A and B are shown apart, each in its own frame.
Chain A
Amino acid sequence: MSGLRSFVARRLILGAVQTAAVVLLVFALTEALPGDAAVALAGDQPDPARVAAIREAMHLDRPAHERLADWAAGLLHGDLGTSLASGRPVVRYLADGFGPTLLLAALTVALLVPAGFGLGVLAARREGGPVDRLISSVTLAVYAVPEFALGVLLVTVFALRLGWLPPTAVGYGTDLPGHPAVLVLPVLVLLARPVCSLVRLVRAGMIDALASPYVAQARRYGVSGARVRYTHALPGALAPAVQQLARTVDWLLCGVIVVEALYVIPGLGTVLLNAVAERDVPVVQGLAVVFGVLTVVLTLAADLVAHRLAPRAGVAA
């Protein structure tokens, strides 16, 4: 499998280049915006002399390429720099934000995979029947609701009217695992649309696979129903679903800004939002690096799994 190995190497090199390009683009765009960290820090007293003083203290008066070069040199040693707004290391920001984000993502995926595949297979088995029609129409309807609308709706019903669950995570800090009730609504909102797209993909793939001659042959030769479904039909139906799953995990890890903002969860999305507001360029760049690497790795993993599931298609870089 040297072909596969060289494919992985090529993709990793390409991924590094892509991540560098993202970082450059983010840096250029933040530079292009009017105002900078000094203006944001000066806050209520935008006295030009004061802004200039802050700028000098933060070395913001140096040319942009020098600042970028410094930051890149630090990155090679694993140093993501320090925040302009608070002076804390960027790594601390990322570490603090990553905990809640990872917790939300893990919970969501843990529920997403069994629900998505289970409902998809069930709908495919009962193709055209009432169960299938129910699953298909409900998934379509839920998929059409945007997450901010669903989030507000759930808060209104379950937190404000019924009072069963806390409306947001305000007051719980980063100790989310200690208060599971806080996580219910955000996880539900995060689940809603990915479950729908996954169910529909798995259903479509399974219907094709169940009608295929190779499944007919397995049935003909006395392999039991569940075994045919899960070990003979499902692998062929999985390849597109796995790609979709990777995109979902990528979305969950790289800042679910709307949901975190709505439920006031101190995850990476919130960190990103604040950093942009404060023109905290090192933090934004640090996030861009992390998101870039995550996306590259997840996409590559999905491609490898898809290759394993559809070996005939070969690999493409």
Chain B
Amino acid sequence: MTHESGTAGRTGTTAAPVAEIRELRVEVDGRAIVDGVSLTVVPGKVTALVGASGSGKTTTGLALLGEHPPGARVSGEIRRTAEGPIGYIPQHPAAVLNPARRISALLTDIARTQVRHLPRGRRRAAARDRVLTALAEAQLPDAESLLRRYPHQLSGGQQQRVVLAQALLLGARVIVADEPTTGQDALTKSRIVDQLRAVTARGIAVVLLSHDLEAVRALADEVVVLRAGRVVESGPAQRLWAAPRHEWTRRLLDAGRDLTAPVGATGGTRPVLRIRDLTARHRDGARGGTVVLRAPALDLHPGECLAVVGRSGSGKTTLARCLAGLHRDHDGEVLLDGVPLPRSLRHRGRAQLAAVQYVFQDARAAFDHHRPVLHQVARTAIRLRGAAPGPATREALTTLARLGLPEDLAGRRPGQLSGGELQRAALARALLARPRVLLCDEITSGLDTVTRRGLLDVLRALLRDRGDLSLVLITHDLDVAALAHRIAVLDGGDVVEQGPARRILAAPDHPFTVALTQAARPQTGAVP
């Protein structure tokens, strides 16, 4: 099966399209999600659908598979000229892996349909061979033992490759990949890009749905820029990068290119927050738990912005959680103005709680969905500073407005705000406590480039306007880290390097930091 698609790819240089969409319009409740989108899918090429979140990328991608949102009215033409099914890799691969079954379950079921022509006795072995071949093609080593695992026993990257293996096993001629690189660190991103390139080399057409412009730049042959369900601009990638015709495309590209310069410098004042000999553990059944973080010494000065950089699982979030009193299982001390902070949130006083505030990655999960955002923002001032409801609401309104949320938006419930808007509200909520230290945990990941830039501008303005506010940015994104004065790099729970941002980004010492900056560089360097 996979051999067939391989040969088909090599002969497919004539570039007859395998699938085509003409004037697709998808309407739900009278509102057009996708309006007049056309695109051509060519074997061995990457067609990228680019746009901010909510621009109709996923709806268009799923339409290729013949799937539409419930209750949708669909018009236009979806033509699949080539035989064979279409594979789908969703943004969260874990969602399509059955948590109750070993990963071999669906793979074997797919293979089973392909070995019907064999005599009964040989089917089982043949199906297994096919599964193992597909896993090997998806660059999953040690497939034998992997097959026996459950999805939750795999890493995010392995899950993604298992889902890719399903599509390869299926013999898909087209694979729709939805945001494969979003929210990944630089090393993982470059690995995914290589992987998708290998897929196209087999002659499979890839439809890349993404707002990650670096990945699009590295992969795409053809780019379709979407905005609010309409095609703003489309054409060969090179032409589009070099000379974007449409205003929106230009804005999108600018936002992606933007490398922020750090603002201001820090004085040599007394640190507001000091970490001494911090060792954090996770209880996982093993005696005494596993050490997930060792931070011998880390200082944060007033008005300083410290970026904590590392891959997923490096202990970044645990560090932030220790500071905020959310992770109690640690040794060592966290000193605020020289006074040790109690380990648990519950033992911290009102002033200590207000002084260290946390903004979470998933803003939507951090709000109560049944009350207006404004109430929830104002409540911080009432609870942590004892403000009266009237002044608290007024302060909330001005803070929200300064962060770019006007009054009519502030009065809405969280469900009616976008991810970027909610993240601004979450920042406002934290600021109403008048914190000394603000912990921002991956607050820009999962947002599209335009929204992300808006949020980074907000952070930069905060640093400028609130002189004594210190920021801790937990991030895997070196572009975000460039906003900081100082960078601490974490790997496997150890602080492997720390120093001024400029030096770390320009001349990293530690091999891991070198790898991280290099992984980020080729794609930004490829800007024509």
Give A contacts to B, CB under 8 Å: 3, 212-218, 220-223, 227, 231-232, 235-236, 238-239, 309-312
B166 touches A217 (CB 8 A): yes
In whole angstroms, how far apart are the Cα atoms of A218 and B107 in the complex?
9
In whole angstroms, how far apart are the Cα atoms of A238 and B65 in the complex?
30
B109 touches A231 (CB 8 A): yes
> Closest B-chain residue to A236, C-beta based?
B100
8 Å CB interface, B65-90 against A: 65, 67, 85, 88, 90
A232 touches B98 (CB 8 A): yes
Contact of B152 among A212, A217, A311 (CB under 8 A): A311
Chain A residues near B285: list those with CB within 8 A.
3
B105 touches A232 (CB 8 A): yes
8 Å CB interface, B47-103 against A: 65, 67, 85, 88, 90, 95-101
A236 touches B106 (CB 8 A): no
A235 touches B113 (CB 8 A): no
Contacts A217-B166, A231-B105 given; indicate if A222 touches B85 (C-beta within 8 A): yes
B193 at the interface (CB under 8 A from A): no
Chain A residues near B110: list those with CB within 8 A.
221-223
In whole angstroms, how far apart are the Cα atoms of A164 and B150 in the complex?
53
Contacts A217-B166, A220-B65 given; indicate if A309 touches B106 (C-beta within 8 A): no
> Closest B-chain residue to A232, C-beta based?
B98
8 Å CB interface, B144-196 against A: 150-153, 163, 166, 170
In whole angstroms, how far apart are the Cα atoms of A212 and B101 in the complex?
14
From A218, A227, A239, name the one whose CB has the most chain B CB atoms within 10 angstroms.
A218
> Closest B-chain residue to A214, C-beta based?
B98
Chain A min CB distance to B182 (Å):
17
In whole angstroms, how far apart are the Cα atoms of A142 and B285 in the complex?
45
> Closest B-chain residue to A228, C-beta based?
B109
Some 24 contacts from A to B, beta carbons below 8 A apart, are A214-B96, A215-B98, A217-B88, A217-B163, A218-B106, A220-B85, A220-B88, A221-B85, A221-B106, A221-B110, A221-B170, A222-B85, A222-B170, A231-B105, A231-B109, A232-B98, A232-B106, A235-B98, A235-B100, A236-B98, A236-B99, A311-B99, A311-B150, A312-B99
Q: Interface residues of B, CB < 8 Å — how many?
A: 25
Contacts A221-B85, A221-B166, A231-B109 given; indicate if A312 touches B150 (C-beta within 8 A): yes
> Closest A-chain residue to B166, C-beta based?
A221
A216 touches B99 (CB 8 A): no
Chain A residues near B99: list those with CB within 8 A.
214, 236, 310-312
Chain A residues near B101: list those with CB within 8 A.
231-232, 235
Chain A residues near B90: list those with CB within 8 A.
213
Contacts A3-B285, A220-B88, A221-B170 given; indicate if A213 touches B100 (C-beta within 8 A): no
Chain B residues near A312: list those with CB within 8 A.
99, 150-152
Chain A residues near B100: list those with CB within 8 A.
235-236, 238-239, 309-311
A216 touches B96 (CB 8 A): yes
In the A-B complex, list the 7 residue pairs whose CB atoms are closest, starting with the nearest. A217-B96, A235-B100, A213-B95, A236-B100, A312-B152, A214-B98, A311-B150
Chain B residues near A220: list those with CB within 8 A.
65, 67, 85, 88
> Closest B-chain residue to A312, C-beta based?
B152
From B99, B113, B150, name the one whose CB has the most chain A CB atoms within 10 angstroms.
B99
Contact of A213 among B96, B150, B152 (CB under 8 A): B96
Chain A residues near B109: list those with CB within 8 A.
218, 221, 223, 227, 231-232
> Closest A-chain residue to B97, C-beta based?
A214
Chain B residues near A214: list those with CB within 8 A.
95-99, 106
Chain A residues near B150: list those with CB within 8 A.
311-312
> Closest B-chain residue to A234, C-beta based?
B100
Given contacts A212-B95, A232-B105, 7 further A-B contacts (CB under 8 A): A213-B95, A217-B88, A217-B163, A220-B67, A221-B85, A309-B100, A311-B99
In whole angstroms, how far apart are the Cα atoms of A228 and B424 in the complex?
43
> Closest B-chain residue to A315, C-beta based?
B285
Contact of B113 among A212, A215, A222, A236 (CB under 8 A): A222
Chain B residues near A213: list those with CB within 8 A.
90, 95-96
> Closest A-chain residue to B285, C-beta based?
A3
Chain B residues near A236: list those with CB within 8 A.
98-100
Chain A residues near B151: list those with CB within 8 A.
312
Chain A min CB distance to B162 (Å):
11
In whole angstroms, how far apart are the Cα atoms of A174 and B95 in the complex?
55
Chain B min CB distance to A100 (Å):
37
Chain A min CB distance to B299 (Å):
38
Chain A min CB distance to B272 (Å):
39
In whole angstroms, how far apart are the Cα atoms of A52 and B113 in the complex?
82
In whole angstroms, how far apart are the Cα atoms of A217 and B97 in the complex?
8
Chain A residues near B96: list those with CB within 8 A.
213-214, 216-217
Chain A residues near B170: list those with CB within 8 A.
221-222
Chain A residues near B105: list those with CB within 8 A.
231-232
Chain A residues near B88: list those with CB within 8 A.
217, 220
Chain B residues near A238: list those with CB within 8 A.
100
In whole angstroms, how far apart are the Cα atoms of A312 and B100 in the complex?
8
